[in-house]
């Protein structure tokens, strides 16, 4: 059994696994005659393999209870997967580096502040969507196309939040 305490999500700590999506820390510039601020190129979208295409989705997730008990992590070997909360929902992020197996000492847990999203790099192991406090709506960008793009790895993980 692996016990983790989720730490605050930062771009530096999450860099081995993908991108933190946060308009507050990104470069921006005005467009649409100055009426819109564009936060540009916030994450690298990866779509690998034949007939690959980018999908834009909305996921509606039910809240989890704490401590969060997980029995597996999943990965998408053929593309990245980005989650951006639409209504400032906080969520737990559990990740491990790409590879055929998961070393328990390499698993990490983070908690977003509600205005941050994440983009998991292709092949990064991660937990299923784990929104806190209330139902959450997320803009999700990932890969569609031919081939298997979801693997699961059994792993018993319990996650708590820092007090």
Q: What are the domain boundaries of the chain? A: 1-159
SS3 of 106, please?
helix
Residue 71, burial from CB neighbour count under 10 angstroms (0-12, 13-18, 19+): exposed
Q: How far apart, in whole angstroms, are the C-alpha atoms of residue 97 and residue 94?
A: 11
The reported pLDDT for the residue numbered 30 is 93
Top-tier CATH class for 1-159: mainly beta
Ordered mean pLDDT values, 10 residues apiece, the chain (163 residues): 96 97 92 92 91 95 96 97 97 97 97 98 97 96 94 97 84
The pTM score is 0.91
First to last CA, the chain: 21
Closest Cα to residue 117, out of 149, 143, 141? 141
Q: How far is CA 118 from the centre of its chain?
A: 4
Tallying the residues shown for the chain, one arrives at: 163
Dihedral sign, Cα of residue 3, residue 7, residue 10, residue 12:
negative
């Amino acid at each position: 059994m692996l016990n983790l305490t989720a730490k605050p999500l930062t771009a530096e700590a999450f860099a081995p696994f993908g991108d933190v999506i946060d308009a507050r820390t990104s470069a921006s510039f005005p467009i649409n005659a100055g009426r819109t601020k564009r936060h540009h190129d916030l994450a690298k979208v990866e779509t690998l393999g034949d007939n690959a295409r980018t999908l834009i989705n909305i996921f509606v997730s039910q809240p989890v209870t704490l401590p969060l008990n997980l029995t597996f992590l999943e990965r998408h070997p053929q593309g990245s997967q980005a989650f951006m909360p639409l209504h400032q929902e906080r969520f737990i992020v559990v990740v491990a580096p790409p590879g055929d197996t998961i070393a328990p000492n390499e698993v990490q847990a983070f908690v977003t502040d509600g205005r941050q999203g994440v983009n998991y790099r292709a092949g990064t192991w991660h937990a299923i969507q784990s929104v806190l406090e209330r139902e959450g709506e997320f803009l999700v960008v990932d890969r569609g196309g031919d081939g298997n793009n979801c693997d699961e790895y059994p792993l018993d993980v319990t996650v708590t939040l820092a007090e």
